[in-house]
Amino acid sequence: MSELVAQQVLNALALGGVYALLGLGLAMVFSVLGMINFAHGELMTFTGYALIFLSATLGWPFFLAVFAAFAVAAASAALIERVAFRPVRGASLTTMLLTTFAISSILHVVFQNFISPRPIAVAIPDWLTSTAQFSGLRIGMLQCISLGVTVVALIGLTVFLRFSITGLAMRAAAQDFSITRLMGIPANRVIVTAFAISGLLAGLSGFLWVAQRGSVDPLMGFVPVLKAFIAVVLGGLGSLPGAVLGGFLLGFLEVLLRAMLPSELLPFRDAISLSIIITILVLRPNGLLGRAEAVR
Amino acid sequence: MSASEKHTTDPALELRGVTISYGAIRAARSVDLTVGAGEIVTLIGPNGAGKSSTLMGTVGLAPRGGAVLMYGEDVSNASTEQLVRKGLTLSPEGRRIFGNLSVAENLRLGGATARKTAGETEERLLDAFPKLRARYGQQAGTLSGGEQQMLAIARALMSNPSIVLLDEPSLGLAPKIVDTIFETIEQLRTWKISVLLVEQDIERALEVSDRGYVMSHGEIQMTGTSNELLTNANLKEMFFGENA
């Protein structure tokens, strides 16, 4: 019994970690621009295609290709900010949201027409998908990497957000963006950094997602980014720790329901988990760590 | 040369025909105003007169027309961040400290543009506001109203400015805290910082100021030295309800 619980906790941490990384990326952009970037999932997809191109087409060593794909994701996010979001900065929230949907749709079409509408297999090294037995626990290498990546990314981000001026400015911007400008820190620097970090996080979670599935398709990012959005709302819009907490909670909830629900109820797993989240939000409308009022 | 050591015959801050508009609503119209180097100038007026909008517009945080000059240099097109780097800053109405950051982090952010002198400036400010030293590692959102106001002023001064705009620094504070705030405002003169002060405690503000402007319905209605304004019969009637 205790092995089963430990196994499920491990599974939940690995899944929740991916949601937390994605949610943190969404929350970072939300904290500086006040909008959810629904094109975030396409950055995951982009990471997958970059990985295929660099490792399979150009023949780069797998891990070099992985790190390069992370860089591609971060640079793409910064480029999207420059080309698409900066021109509409200061416009209404509706305009900003429509822009994110437009970018998402454009990227879908580009992926479908210029790459492939069908899933493309990614050659994942065998050792990455291997598993090992430890006192009754079946631990996958990918699960370990997923946990490790999440922990390292969260520690790195915490250090950045606590000790660098740009990181402090990003935390301040999450509360009051206009007053953050009064600190003399260029708004563009804060916003581009937020996008680049959110792209990097999308890249990290994109790699973990692709490694689990073994393929990339144009709509790959849709479901995880939707889950991450739920995690961000659950944690509290605008709260960076909230996004992490929401991600892990959602991961735990999904794994718990998968393990405990009878097989005939399994198709309703998402509906049940969303009902639980709605109940939490009814009790705490601003999310678990959200503020009642955000000044922007 | 640091921002607070500028020597020029031009006013530290000059507003020429400044207009602040929020869509069709004009909060301020053709505001002409100067603050001399090292001077404390008060901008007074009833609620909704356009005082806070004028300050927000001056630092580029509200839509502004007209010209803003610092030491004779036209900075009308400078962004908020550039103005701060040039030595202009604002302690906004309602404090607006970063409540999710500690006192230390608020101060560190305030000094982001003056990192070389940040340590020295911080020591000076913590001496001026000992309560902030006691609360240094505490989350700013948990401070009392008075402590938050001290932090808002200290954070603004961390950028080592030559001109500081203070918006309603004593609003809603206990008398003892108000005394500390006004003592600090007077101290700014010795630190060679020019001050444009918006304040609801008009008598107290004029007592620490050199000059004042009276604003109403978005326009400057009257100007004079603090003594002239304090003894002006019309002003007394307007603000203090006293008959001359």
CA-based nearest residue in chain A for residue B159: A183
State the average pLDDT over residues A35-61: 94
CA distance A172 to chain B (A): 6
- Alpha-carbon gap, residue B43 to B34, rounded angstroms: 11
Residue B167 inside a domain? The answer is yes
CA–CA dist B196, A35 (Å, integer)? 35
Q: Among 3.90.1690, 3.30.70, 2.60.120, 1.10.3470, what is the CATH number of A2-130+138-283?
A: 1.10.3470
Nearest to A49 by CA among A124, A115, A103: A115
CA distances from B34 to B42, B86, B97, B187, B220 (A): 11, 17, 28, 21, 12
Give the other-Cβ count within 10 Å of A120's Cβ.
14
Q: Which residue of B has its CA nearest to A189?
A: B81
Q: Residue B14 forms beta bridges with which residues?
A: B34, B69
The residue ranges of every structural domain in chain A are 2-130+138-283
Q: pLDDT tens digits for B7-18? A: 557 899 999 999
d(C-alpha A234, C-alpha A249), whole Å? 9
- Chain A residues with CB under 8 Å of B108 CB are 165, 168
Residue B2 lies in a domain: no
pLDDT digits (tens, 9 = 90+) for A166-204: 999 988 887 888 899 999 998 888 899 999 999 999 999
Q: Is it the case that residue A64 has pLDDT exceeding 90?
A: yes
Q: Which of B11, B44, B53 is nearest to B209 (CA)?
A: B44
Q: Which residues of B touch A187 (CB under 8 A)?
A: 79-81
User: Between β-strands B163-167 and B194-198, what pairing exists: parallel, antiparallel or unpaired?
Assistant: parallel
Question: Quick one: pLDDT at residue B240?
Answer: 61
Give the mutation candidate from A86, A183, A239 for the B interface (greatest B CB count, under 10 A). Answer: A183
Choice among A122-131, B205-214, B221-230 with the minimum mean pLDDT: A122-131
Cβ <8 Å between B59 and A182: yes
Q: Within a 13 Å sphere around the CA of A285, how many CA atoms are in the beta-carbon half?
A: 2
Phi/psi of residue A211, each to 5°? -65, -30
* DSSP codes of every residue in A20-33: HHHHHHHHHHHHHH
Long-range contacts, B181-187 (Cβ 8 Å, 24+): B181/B149, B181/B150, B181/B153, B182/B208, B184/B128, B184/B129, B184/B150, B184/B153, B185/B40, B186/B40, B187/B128
Is the residue at B203 inside a domain? Answer: yes
pLDDT in tens, B165-180: 999 999 988 999 999 9
Within a domain: B90: yes
Bridge-based pairing state of the strands B219-225 and A120-121: unpaired
**Domain that residue B193 falls in:** 10-240
Residue tagged 């989240």 (tokens):
A277
pLDDT at residue A75 is higher than 90:
yes
Q: Assess B104–A contact: CB distance below 8 Å, yes or no.
A: no
- Identify the pLDDT of residue B24: 87
* Longest Cα separation, chain B: 54
Q: What chain B residue is nearest to A175 in terms of C-alpha separation?
A: B98
Chain-chain contact of B90 with A186 (C-beta, under 8 angstroms): no
Strand partners, B74: B69
The answer to whether the Cβ–Cβ distance between A176 and B108 falls below 8 Å is: no
Give Cα separations from B222 to B31, B194, B214 (angstroms).
11, 21, 5
CATH classification at residue B230 = 3.40.50.300
B159 with A184: Cβ contact below 8 A: yes
Largest pairwise CA distance in chain A: 59
B129-157 pLDDT, tens digit each: 999 999 999 999 999 999 999 999 999 99
> Any chain A CB within 8 A of the CB of B108?
yes
Going by pLDDT thresholds of 50, 70 and 90, the confidence category of residue A292 is: low
Residue B190 lies in a domain: yes
- The count of CB pairs under 8 A between chains A and B is 67
pLDDT at A2: 74
Determine, yes or no, domain membership for B1. Answer: no
B159 to chain A, any CB pair closer than 8 A? The answer is yes
Nearest to B189 by CA among B71, B70, B38: B38
Name the domain count of chain B.
1
Among the partner-chain residues A179, A184, A187, the one whose CB lies closest to the CB of B85 is A184
Check if B148 contacts A (Cβ < 8 Å): no
What is d(CA B220, CA B41) in angstroms, rounded to the nearest whole number? 14
